Each structure stands twice: as C-alpha cells, then as structure tokens.
Amino acid sequence: MSKQTVLMTAVGSYLPANVVTNDDLSACVDTSDEWIRRRTGITQRHFVAEGETTADLASKAATKALSQAGLVASDIDLIIVATTTPDNTFPSTATKVQHQLGAAGAIAFDIQAVCAGFIYAVDVADAMLRGGRGRRALVIGAESFSKLLDWQDRTTCVLFGDGAGAVVLEIDEKDSDFGIRSSVLHADGAYRDILYFDGGPSSNQNEDNVRLEGKEVFRHAIEKLAAVMDEALTAADMQPQDIDWLVPHQANIRIIDGMQKKMQLPDEKVVRTVDRHANTSAASIPLALATAVDDGRVKNGDVLAMEAIGGGLVWGAALVKYGRPA
C-alpha cells in the first residue's frame, strides 16, 4: 500500500473592518508613515472591533475555506487553531470555533508557536490525518495581536495587525504528487528573550506587552529560515526553481526580501501582503495565500514554499503542491 499524502484544497481569510494606517498611528505614537514604511514595508493594518474575538475571526475564515472546498462543517474531523491571542486561557479557541461552525465531533485544540504557529499546525494536522485520525482538517491561523501591544513602544506597536486565515486539508484519494511534500520544524529556547510577551498566568498573572530585540530577530530569521527551507527542499527532492510561489511569514519586508535573495527567486514568485496586513503572526501565511488564490495568482497545481519564525525561537518550512488532482 502506498503512503498517503494530504492535500491542501482550499483557503479562506477574514480581516476586521477597522483599517488603521500609519498616519492614524502617528497621531497617537511618536512615529511617522515614512519611518514605518522604511523599516518594515507596512502601510496599514486591521484591528478587531470592540467585542470581536480571535474565535470570531477564525470562524469567519474557516467558513470561507469550507465554502471554497465545497464542504460543510460536519465533514471536518479535526480543527487546529494556531494562535497566541486566545479568547481565554482555557478552553481552547478551537473548541469555540468548533461550536460556532457546528462541527460537532471534530477533534479541536490550539497550537501556540507564535508566528510559526501555522507551519507547526499544518505539520501536526498532516501527521494526524496520515495516522488515521480523520480524513479532513481545518487548520486556522488567527490573531488579535492589537490587544497585546504597548502603545508607548513605537518599535513594536506599529508592527502588528489582526486577522485570520484557514486552509482545508484532505487525505489524497488518488495517490498523486499533490499535497504536502515536506515540512520541517525547529525550536531553540536559548533565544526566548529576544522576542517574547512579558506576562502570563504562571509568572505574574498579568497580561502585559510584546517585547522585541529587532536586530537580533532579523539576524536569526534570515539564517534559520534559509537553512530550514533547504531542509524542506531536500526532504521533498526539490530545487528552488521548482517553486512557483514563496508564501512567507509577513513579518517585515526586509526579511521577505532577504529570503527571496537567498532562494534566488524573482519578484513575481513572491507573495507579499505585509504592506496591507502588517504582521498577523500565525495568521500571516494563510492570509497571504488566500490573497494570492483570490486574485488568481496561485492556481491549482502550483508548488508553494512556506516559512516562518517566531518567538521561542521556533521556526519551520513546508512545501505544498496546492489544490487537488483532476
């Protein structure tokens, strides 16, 4: 019997209606549009409305993904939500999404790997489906990062946005070359102090703020993302020229450009949404993918290279032949 593979068949996204421009931020923070653009590439971001939660964002993105896949909630066996901004310490945001969607019976839990959360969640869902724990999964990256920001710290508060993206994963019934071709994960807690949140239930019981050492994060990002992408390519027996689209974590235009250069890819093969979405942490890759699918750039059968790094440090990469065989 041949080894089963897992397809990525559909994607959906949701962005809150509230758009906040750099000029809006400069009215309340010591910054400017020029300063933010030059350092990050960001021009605007979306923030949740009062009363809007991470589960709400996740459910709306998941509903769109299900519609695109031609499925209903009861078809789903597994829901994984990657988030650093859950609605509650417990229960998991995924169980709230399960209830909101009406996916009774689906296994549901959260993964917390910050900006690498979506890659981690795809890897876990892939292993679970291939291990017989169901046939279809929703993997969702969803964040309300605006609720974690220190509005006196211009080095962090301008970087982040809110939103959600979801993909549908399904067991490949045709034993094709579509689907998840490889995924590689890494972590190194020795670097936890260069990107972290300075509060938590077991430390000081407070909900405090994001802290970041930007230069150190940038240095590690380029080095580690390039290395893990090489690992993913080797595992899939692929070369950079086999990639149709680089769909990177949308943290900073300099990191995206650095990875493009490392992989020697032309501009037209890189999906960039950081200018419009800012850094949406675990949501950034599926949001970027949804943008490129919706505007017609990413097509059925395209090979996607996805990579991300986040606080921990944690990082990973995945190669996916998107869609389903004819």
**Catalytic residue (one of 46, 220, 249, 277):** 249
115 catalytic? Reply is yes
pLDDT in tens, the chain (326 residues): 347 899 999 999 999 999 999 999 999 999 999 999 999 999 999 999 999 999 999 999 999 999 999 999 999 999 999 999 999 999 999 999 999 999 999 999 999 999 999 999 999 999 999 999 999 999 999 999 999 888 888 888 999 999 999 999 999 988 899 999 999 999 999 988 877 777 677 776 565 677 877 778 888 899 999 999 999 999 999 999 999 999 999 999 999 999 999 999 999 999 999 999 999 999 999 999 999 999 999 999 999 999 999 998 999 999 999 999 98
Q: Which two tokens stand for residue 14?
A: 């949701």
Helix (H) or strand (E) holding 195, with range, is strand 195-197
DSSP structural state of residue 270:
B
Tell me which long-range contacts 320-323 makes (C-beta under 8 A, separation of at least 24): 320/8, 320/179, 320/180, 320/181, 321/177, 321/178, 321/179, 321/181, 322/8, 322/178, 322/293, 322/298, 323/7, 323/8, 323/9, 323/178, 323/299
CA-to-CA distance for 157 and 149, rounded, in angstroms? 5
Place of tokens 């300099």: 254
Map 138-173 to HEC letters: EEEEEEEHHHHCCCCCHHHHCCECEEEEEEEEEECC
**Catalytic residue (one of 22, 46, 115, 252):** 115
Tens of pLDDT, residues 146-192: 998 888 888 889 999 999 999 999 999 888 999 999 999 999 999 88
Tens of pLDDT, residues 277-308: 999 999 999 999 999 999 999 999 999 999 99
- Reference 103, options 47, 144, 59; nearest CA is 59
**Catalytic residue (one of 22, 209, 252, 279):** 279
Domains, the chain: 6-171 (3.40.47.10), 179-321 (3.40.47.10)
206 catalytic? Reply is no
- Reference 157, options 45, 52, 313; nearest CA is 45
- Reference 222, options 252, 183, 259; nearest CA is 259
Largest CA-CA distance found in the chain, in angstroms, rounded: 63
- Reference 111, options 96, 99, 123; nearest CA is 123
Rounded to 5°, the CA angle 133-134-139 comes to 100
